[in-house]
């Protein structure tokens, strides 16, 4: 269906508004490129490797090229949703509970997601377009490592020290003003200076003496530039506390802390399952389940200077309902069992990520070859192999919106086996990710 200039305008405006809203909150986990089990088994996304899911209560993906033959905007009719029930509620988790669930069932429940995908263009063997639905489930198991925990503890310790220093100095400053022990900015600096020196020297043991002195001098210089009205000191007190906080680089430290949480290092393992529901006559009362898939996907994110790099392996087993395919894909070659195996490598930067995958396929089926002397059907096994390679280019319009483009060579499709070119644009939205307000980062 084609739409006018006004439709293009509305779609663009909606996207810009959503970007604005999604950037207005501090989130501790950004959206990853869309790879849900349901959209994969339905063929909406060509990737065989499921990337680990980010912490989102709900993800929505649109699959299309978004532009019609005449350059008009089109509304995609291929959709996918992935829903994680656990993150629809604020559980007031500590950081350790967030990153390292203590029990096996805690990991399963917290990371369990359910996906659904829909298309109105699921083609049968006669090229007729029908409706197709897919349903999927997956969960992720994170395997903690010692270095990861040490880094988190270092961040927590540094944040705690900075907060203590700001609190102690701020408390003394408020006492001086409330009890009217100073009359102007010069007297305030004279009385607060010893508290600043003592507190910083006592609580920043990792800094050298020269660095501590330089930090104290910088704070005094900045405070001396402030104006103080002893009868209305609230504004002054806020400015004073901000100077302490900025000089201790608490905000910068928290941003580094958040970045580390978002780029979790080490191993994780994804388990996923999906099934396809086909309506060959577009009648709800007649449906088949022609295909099932099961994934095992281990993932490793590198550390330190290679933290932008992530590798993923995949083993996927698919099995087909041969009765369905014999009925609706009469002239097509179908293999009952397929095993996919391969790997992907992903590079992730601030806004941009690239993923390449190489996956092989081993297919097997039984074909009838006649009957024996007693009339029993005889079969023989027939094998085949195939290969797929894809590149995906992803851009984060915000932490919660991703535009993705995939290009490559896919496995031979059941229909039009010579048509293996992949060229797909998708838009992914995320909702309900944890924020700094839903976690106690110091707990």
Please calculate the CA angle 311-439-400 and round it to the nearest 5 degrees: 50
Q: How far is CA 97 from CA 32, 184, 253, 441, in A?
A: 22, 48, 21, 10
pLDDT at residue 388, as a whole number: 94
Distance CA 37, CA 314 (A): 13
Q: From the CB of residue 310, how many other CB atoms can be counted at a distance below 10 Å? A: 22
**Tokens at residue 45, please?**
């996304």
Output the CA torsion sign for 24, 25, 26, 27: negative
Which structure tokens are listed for 371?
Answer: 């009957």
Terminus-to-terminus CA distance in the chain, angstroms?
Answer: 53
- Among 258, 251, 196, which Cα is nearest to 221's? 196
pLDDT at 356: 95
Buried b (16+ CB within 10 A) or exposed e, 12-26: eeebeebeeebeeee
d(CA 319, CA 363): 10
Whether the Cβ atoms of residue 147 and residue 265 lie closer than 8 Å to each other: yes
Angle between helices 146-178 and 250-262 (to 10 degrees): 150
Pairing of strands 93-94, 439-440: parallel
| Torsion angle of the four alpha carbons 337, 342, 345, 346, in this order, in degrees rounded to the nearest 10 | 10
What pLDDT is attached to residue 354? 93
Convert the chain into a string of H (helix), E (strand) and C (coil).
CECCHHHHHHHHHHHHHHHHHHCCCCECCCCCCCCCHHHHHCCCCCCCCCCCCCCCCEEEEEEECCECCCCCEECCCCEEEEECHHHHCCCCEEHHHHHCCCCHHHHHHHHCEEEEEEEEEEECCCCCEEEEEEEEEEEEEEECCHHHHHHHHHHHHHHHHHHHHHHHHHHHHHHHHHCCCCCCHHHHHHHHHHHHHHHHHHHCCCCCHHHHHHHHHHHHHHHHCCCCCCCCCHHHHHHHHHHHHHHCCHHHHHHHHHHHHHCCCEEEEEEEEEEEEEECCCCCCCCEEEEEEEEEEEEEECCHHHCCEEEEEEEEEEEECHHHHHHHCCCCCCCCEEEEEEEEEEEECCCEEEEEEEEEEEEEEEEEEEECCCCCEEEEEEEEEEEEEEEEEEEEEECCEEEEEEEEECCCCCCCCCCCEEEEEEEEEEECCCECCCEECCC
Which residue's structure tokens are 């397929």? Answer: 338
Buried b / exposed e along 312-322 (16+ C-beta atoms within 10 A):
bbbebebebbe
Q: Rounded to an integer, what is the distance from CA 22 to the centroid of its chain?
A: 14
Per-residue model confidence (pLDDT) at position 16: 46
Q: What pLDDT score does 270 carry? A: 92
In this prediction the pTM is: 0.73
- Cα gap 11→305, rounded to integer Å: 39
Q: Is the CB of residue 31 less than 8 Å from the CB of residue 399?
A: yes
So what's the pLDDT on residue 8?
44
> CA 22 to CA 340: how far, in whole Å?
37
Q: Mean pLDDT, consecutive 10-residue segments, the chain of 443 residues?
A: 42 45 54 81 85 80 58 60 85 73 81 90 85 92 74 77 86 87 88 90 81 88 87 86 83 68 78 93 89 94 83 95 89 89 90 92 79 66 89 87 89 82 84 69 57
């Amino acid at each position: 269906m084609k739409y006018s200039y006004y439709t293009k305008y509305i779609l663009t405006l909606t996207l810009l508004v959503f970007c604005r809203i999604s950037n207005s909150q501090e989130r501790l986990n950004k959206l990853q490129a869309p790879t849900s089990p349901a959209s994969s088994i339905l063929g909406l996304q060509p990737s065989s490797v499921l990337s680990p899911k980010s912490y989102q209560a709900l993800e929505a993906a649109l699959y299309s090229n978004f532009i019609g033959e005449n350059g008009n905007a089109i509304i995609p009719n291929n959709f996918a949703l992935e829903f994680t029930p656990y993150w629809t509620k604020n559980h007031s988790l500590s950081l350790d509970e967030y990153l390292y669930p203590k029990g096996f069932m805690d990991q399963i429940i917290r990371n369990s997601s359910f996906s659904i995908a829909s298309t109105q263009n699921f083609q049968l063997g006669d090229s007729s377009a029908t409706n197709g639905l897919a349903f999927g489930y997956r969960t992720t198991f994170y395997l903690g490592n010692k270095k990861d925990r040490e880094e988190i503890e270092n961040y927590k310790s540094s944040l705690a020290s900075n907060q203590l220093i700001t609190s102690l100095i701020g408390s003394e400053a408020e006492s001086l003003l409330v009890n009217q022990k100073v009359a102007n900015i010069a007297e305030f600096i004279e009385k607060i200076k010893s508290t600043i020196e003592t507190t910083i020297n006592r609580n920043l043991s990792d800094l050298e003496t020269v660095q501590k002195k330089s930090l104290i001098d910088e704070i005094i210089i900045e405070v001396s530039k402030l104006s103080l009205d002893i009868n209305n000191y609230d504004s002054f007190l806020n400015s004073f506390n901000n100077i302490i906080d900025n000089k201790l680089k608490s905000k910068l430290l928290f941003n580094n802390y958040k970045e580390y949480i978002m780029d979790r290092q080490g191993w994780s393992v994804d388990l996923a399952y999906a099934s396809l529901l086909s309506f060959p006559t577009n009648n709800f009362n007649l449906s088949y389940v022609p295909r099932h898939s099961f994934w095992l996907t281990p993932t490793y994110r590198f550390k330190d200077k290679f933290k932008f790099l992530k590798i993923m392996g995949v083993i996927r087993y698919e099995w087909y309902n041969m009765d369905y395919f014999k009925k609706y894909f009469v002239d097509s070659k179908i293999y009952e069992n397929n095993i996919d195996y391969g790997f992907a490598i992903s590079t992730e930067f601030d806004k941009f990520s690239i993923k390449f995958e190489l996956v092989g396929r081993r297919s097997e089926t039984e074909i009838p070859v006649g009957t024996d002397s007693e009339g029993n059907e005889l079969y023989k096994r027939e094998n085949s192999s195939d290969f797929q390679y894809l590149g995906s280019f992803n851009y984060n319009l915000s932490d919660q919106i991703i535009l993705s483009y995939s290009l490559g060579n896919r496995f031979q499709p059941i229909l039009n086996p010579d048509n293996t070119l992949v060229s797909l644009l998708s838009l992914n939205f995320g909702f309900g990710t944890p924020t700094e307000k839903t976690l106690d980062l110091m707990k």
